[in-house]
Structure 1
Amino acid sequence: MSRTLEWTVGVELVEEDGTTKAEARLLTGNSNLTGHGSARCNPADVDVPAIGDELAASRAMKDLAGKLMREANREMEAVGAGTVPQHTGPGYGWPEAVT
């Protein structure tokens, strides 16, 4: 069986008061998943907006990837297949994003 799919990921960045927030959205055609991330400039550091954008976006995509993996694990369990062991580490992004 041969298949070709295209999934679209969009990342929206908003910067306010030294904090950059990112929202990454994955549209698969069957589901929509959203990940969140943020980055804050330390007041003692030089403000380089591009760095905040990169950090917030990468954290949002990491959160999104985790959600996609959890969805795949649930679907594998539903059909009786084994899942990959979960490894937990420090959370990134908004607190509600690491659940």
Structure 2
Amino acid sequence: MSHTAEWKVRLQLVEDGDRTEARVVLDTGTTSLTGTGAARRAPGDEDAPEIGDEFAAGRALRDLGSRLLHTAEQDVEARGAAPDPRTSPVYGWSM
């Protein structure tokens, strides 16, 4: 079975003082998932906004990835596959 899909990802970064917050939204066309992340510059650190952006965005993307895997696990369980703690959380789908 052949399948092609295009999902859209939107990433927003907001810096406020020494704190950067990121919000990433995945739009599949039928549903959406959101991940968030944040970074805080230590008081003695150099003001380098791109570093805060990288940390906050990376954390938001990691959060989104965890949420997406959790959704896939729920979809597999809904189709009758029981979770087995001894196996990969992706239940046989290879990485």
TM value normalised by structure 2: 0.85
Structure showing greater radius of gyration is: 2
Q: Which runs of 5+ in 1 are unaligned?
A: 87-99
Report what 1:40 is aligned to.
40
Cα distance in 2 between the residues matched to 1:52 and 1:75: 35
TM superposition shift of 1:81 = 2.2
TM superposition shift of 1:3 = 1.2
3-state SS of 2:56 partner: helix
Report what 1:69 is aligned to.
69
Higher relative contact order, chain-length normalized (CA < 8 Å, sep 6+): 1
Cα distance in 2 between the residues matched to 1:85 and 1:31: 22
User: Between the two proteins, what is the percent identity of the paired residues?
Assistant: 48
3-state SS of 1:12 partner: strand
Cα distance in 2 between the residues matched to 1:34 and 1:73: 17
Cα distance in 1 between the residues matched to 2:4 and 2:89: 28
Q: How many residues align?
A: 86
TM superposition shift of 1:85 = 3.7
Cα distance in 2 between the residues matched to 1:82 and 1:30: 26
Moved >4 Å (runs of 4+):
none
TM value normalised by structure 1: 0.81
Report what 1:12 is aligned to.
12
Aligned ranges 1:74-89 → 2 under 5 Å: 74-83=74-83, 84-85=88-89
